[in-house]
Structure formats: structure tokens, C-alpha cells
Structure 1
Amino acid sequence: MDIRKNIGTILFLLLSVIAQGQKEYRLVWSDEFDVDGRPSKDWTFERGFVRNQELQWYQPQNAFVKDGCLVIEGRQEHRPNPDYETGNGDWRRNREYIEFTSSSLTTRLSRQFLYGRFEVRAKIPVASGSWPAIWLLGNKWEWPLNGEIDMLEYYIKDGRPSILANACWGASERWHAIWDSVVTPFIHYTEKDPDWANKFHIWRMDWDKDFIRLYLDDELLNEIDLKQTFNGGYNGNTENPFSNNVPGFKHYILLNLAIGANGGEPDISQFPLRYYIDYVRVYE
């Protein structure tokens, strides 16, 4: 266990009310990942093949806390797909074998939020095939009517490694999304610091009823005007999934490392992939 980190964490937690920017925020929840072993009970896991025809099979054992960080590990593993069915049209069931595994953690069952400041300090894998993310989903309605906020996505976009800061909401057709996305080529960071990928960085979201602002190391990446984010009317839903008065409507956090799909062809020589999260903090 890193004693210096623990001392820093204690000092940090003593400042439960802090002034940041022009607003005063109060820490309402955090996970500092200080205790080695399994992640805390605030996190539950997605399992199996989940979305986007990605290559990885999600399983809890690829996520663990060590030396003050949550580690999500992408591994090359070959074993039978327990859900395989010959001739099934569902991509989740027509793959005979699992070739890669990883983890996806969510606060859906424990911690949900509406507005505030969200901070995640992390070191991301950038090898070909990596698709790390920090994101939020709404707890009502199906995607994308529930709204998606991507504080971080890293993957290949238009042939270039890129960091994305996005939000999306529902269009007029089922499962069609309207996106507000900013794509920053990864070279933007590595030209300034060739060692960028070997360091921790802070992804931040400031979210109120009017705007979502997404930052990386205090650099504003995307400002989303919530007057423009109303659902397009599919199934009669014209709600705003980021700014509304629907009783109980909130968003939950997801941390995951996908492999393949948008991440590109995996570079096997770089496995296992490791995504390190130092802390997750939420202020209101």
C-alpha cells in the first residue's frame, strides 16, 4: 500500500467543502481505491459480450485494486463462449469462442447523480485495440433516449488515435442517436509531451441544468448546450435526458476497457492492456 497516497487521501478528504473555479462544491461521493483486492460494493459488473460487437468478454476478475489504483486489465484468453448457439443471428451468441476478456464497472445499482462536478484521475492504455472510457448513462428509458455522456473515449477515429468528449440523446427513430462530439487527435497531446501516455491525467465534467462542460487536464474539450439536447420524439419521448424534472431521473457512472471495434485491431504484443484509475470523485 502506498503510504504517501494514503496521507494525501486523508488530507484531501478533510477538505469536504472546496472552492473550485467560480463555484463552491461539496464532495458527495468518491472512491479512492485505497484498499487492495476487489473493488468496493459501490461497483457492479457488466458480463459477457455487451455492445458494439467489441471483441472482449466482460468478467469481474479482470478488475482489481492494487497500490492505490483500480486496474482494469484487458487479456488475451481463448475459451468457449458459454452462450454460443449454432446459427443464432445475435452476434453475442454466434461467436463460438472468447478471444479477449476485460471488465466494465458501473454504479448503476448504488450511486446515481444529477448535476455536479465529476473528476477521474486515470492513466489509459493507448496500444492498438484499446478503447478505454469514462461515461454516464441515464437510469430511465432505453438508449439513447436515456442520454449518454462520454467524459473520455480513446480510439481510432478517421484513421487516427483520438480522444473524444461526447454526449448523445435520442433521435426520431429507435436506437438512433444525435451526437455532440469533439474529437481531438492524440498527437495534440504527444507533441507537447511525448511521455503523455505514461502519466496520469484528470478528466473532469462540470454539469448544471444549462451546460455540460468536459475537460482534460483543465483544457476544455467540449461545451454542450442543454437547450439543444431534447429527444427527437421516438415513442413520444421529447424529454431532455440531461436537464429535466422527471422524478428519480439521474445518471450513473461506467468505467470500462473495451477491445477492438472502434479501438482497432488489437496489437497482441502489447497485452495485457492495463487501465489505471486513481480515483473517482463527485461534487455537488
Structure 2
Amino acid sequence: MTDRSTVWAVTLLLASTLAAPAAGAQPPGPPAGYRLVWADEFDTDGPPDAARWSHDTAHNKTGWHNHELQYYGSPADRNAVVSGGRLRITARRETPSTAPDWGGQRYTSARLLTRGLAEWTYGFFEVRAKMPCGLGTWPAIWMLGSGGRWPDDGELDILEHLGSQPDRVFSTVHTAAGSGGHGVGGAQRLPDACTAFHDYQMHWTPEGVAFAVDGFQHFHYARLDAGPRPWPFDKPQFLLLNLAIGGDLGGPVDDSALPATLEIDHVRVYQKP
């Protein structure tokens, strides 16, 4: 889920074959010696906890990155709601034409982030979620550098999913030194991504970043210091949760598939003491 000040096309250089999880594999906990430092279990019904999450609506008027089609709502719009122990981010076919920052969109959704509230350097990140599916949906669980300079501060895409490829999930790394606007990553086949919850995980250390689903690793990105721009992942990053509609990767939208909901059971961050 690349993030830019201007709209660019997205190119992902994914693994040529899909990884397949080992039969009977059990989701492991965090690495030995790590402790829980931040979490949201979504156990209080209502809007997302304002002490943990803010709503990003900054580009509604001008249009969002990657030619996406959604308008991202505020807490009052109820596109992101906690109920029954889960966060539900819902995309709808509706036109919020009375909103002062409306940019002509015909779809609404939500984009939550921890920027300014919680940021981390290194750790084990786990988000248990169920994908929305529906042609044109593009959910993402990801991180951006707190410095606000893309791609110099780096981007870590823990999980992305496309409604046009419902049985496949993928993870991507963006850096100025390594790949710039072209993501480098890996994919995993997950036939029940839209019907079951899975643990989407990332282990970020000074030596590299590993991505997994239910403990099965499908991509590892080793530290790279190349050229005049250093490895960016030694600085804080914040977490984002969003459900985009359409765009360069989301593709054509099936309006009959909406509303569609990304469900999140928990978000947990572990670090070494």
C-alpha cells in the first residue's frame, strides 16, 4: 500500500511462485525474550479508541494515492466501528457529497493510523484479521516511517489482499535504496482468507524484516545499505489499517459486493526489554 504526496502507479515485484503453508502448522507466539508493549483487543464497543487510533482524511479533497476511489470517513461516519470484540472497517457504495472535503468519490471507507500516538523501532507485530473480499477491495495492514518522507523513510506492508485474487495475500517492502516505488516482496496462498481469521505477522530487527501468516514465513528482506541512501528501518514507524477501493491494484469494483468489511480481532506489538 504505497503512500506518496503525488499519485504514482504501483508495481509490485512479488515472488514468482506462491508459498503454501505447511499442513498442521501452529501459530507461534512472539520470539523468546519479547514482551507485549502495545495492543488493542477491541473489547469496548463504539468508535476506535482515540488514544490509540486517529482517522486519516487528509487527501479526501484531492484524491487518494494510487488512483483509489474511496472517501475516508471520520469517526462520525462510522466506517470504522468496534463491536463484539472486533474492529470492523466497512467500505460502502455511497456519495458523501455534503462533506466539506468531498472530492467526488462514490465510495466511503476508513483509514486508521497510530501516527503521533504510538510508533516503534523494531519488534514483532501481529494483527489477527479476516479479509473482506469483493471485487475492487484492497485492504492493507502496514507501516510508514514517522519522518514523513516517502520512500526515504521506508514502508513495511505486513499484509495486502485483493478482492480480485481472494485466495492470495502478500507482503512488501519499499525503500529508496533498494526499490523505491517498486515493492519487493512475497506472496502466500491462503484459500480461506475471506472466511477465517489469520495471524498476519512481521518480525523487524536491525538485520532484516520477516513476514508470516500463522507463523509460516513467506518473505524475508535482509538489511541493505546501498548507494547514498541508507537502510531506513532503524527509525520509528507507525501502523496503518485501511480498506481501499479500486485503484491501480484494487482494479474494477463490483458495486454489488458492497458493503464489504475488513474485520480485525486484535493488534499486538512485542519488543525486547
Q: Residue 217 of structure 2 aligns to a residue in which SS?
A: strand
The two structures have a TM-score, normalised by structure 1, of 0.76
Amino acid of the residue matched to residue 241 of structure 2?
A: L
* Aligned counterpart, 2:21: none
Q: Structure 1 residues 217, 22: closer, same or farther in 2, change over 3 A?
A: closer
Structure 2: how far apart are the matches of 1:266 and 1:179?
23
Correspondent of 1:274 among 257, 261, 266: 261
**C-alpha deviations, 1:107-135, integer Å up to 9, x for none?**
00100001111000001112111100000
More helix by share: 1
Q: Runs of 4+ in structure 1 displaced over 6 angstroms?
A: none
| Farther-moved stretch of structure 1 (30-39 vs 261-270) | 261-270
1:257 is the counterpart of 2:261:
no
1:206 is the counterpart of 2:207:
no
More strand by share: 1
* Aligned counterpart, 2:71: 57
Displacement of 1:171 after TM fit? 4.8
Correspondent of 1:121 among 108, 125, 128: 128
Q: Residue 122 of structure 1 aligns to a residue in which SS?
A: strand
**C-alpha deviations, 1:201-242, integer Å up to 9, x for none?**
10011111001000011111110101x2x4754xxxx22211
Structure 2: how far apart are the matches of 1:259 and 1:32?
26
Amino acid of the residue matched to residue 202 of structure 1?
A: D
Percent of residue pairs identical:
36
Matched residues, number: 234
1:103 is the counterpart of 2:104:
no
Structure showing greater relative contact order (alpha-carbon pairs closer than 8 Å, 6 or more residues apart): 2
Where in structure 2 are there 5+ consecutive unaligned residues?
A: 1-27
The two structures have a TM-score, normalised by structure 2, of 0.79
Amino acid of the residue matched to residue 148 of structure 1?
A: E
Correspondent of 2:89 among 72, 90, 94: 72
Displacement of 1:189 after TM fit? 2.3
* Contact kept in structure 2, 1:170 and 1:232, CA below 8 Å: no
Structure 1: how far apart are the matches of 2:81 and 2:149?
30
* Aligned counterpart, 2:233: 242
* Contact kept in structure 2, 1:171 and 1:231, CA below 8 Å: yes
* Contact kept in structure 2, 1:151 and 1:166, CA below 8 Å: yes
Where in structure 1 are there 5+ consecutive unaligned residues?
A: 1-18, 85-94, 244-248
* Aligned counterpart, 1:40: 49
* Contact kept in structure 1, 2:129 and 2:262, CA below 8 Å: yes
Q: Which protein shows a greater Rg?
A: 1
**C-alpha deviations, 1:227-262, integer Å up to 9, x for none?**
x2x4754xxxx222113xxxxx30000000000011
Structure 2: how far apart are the matches of 1:169 and 1:78?
36
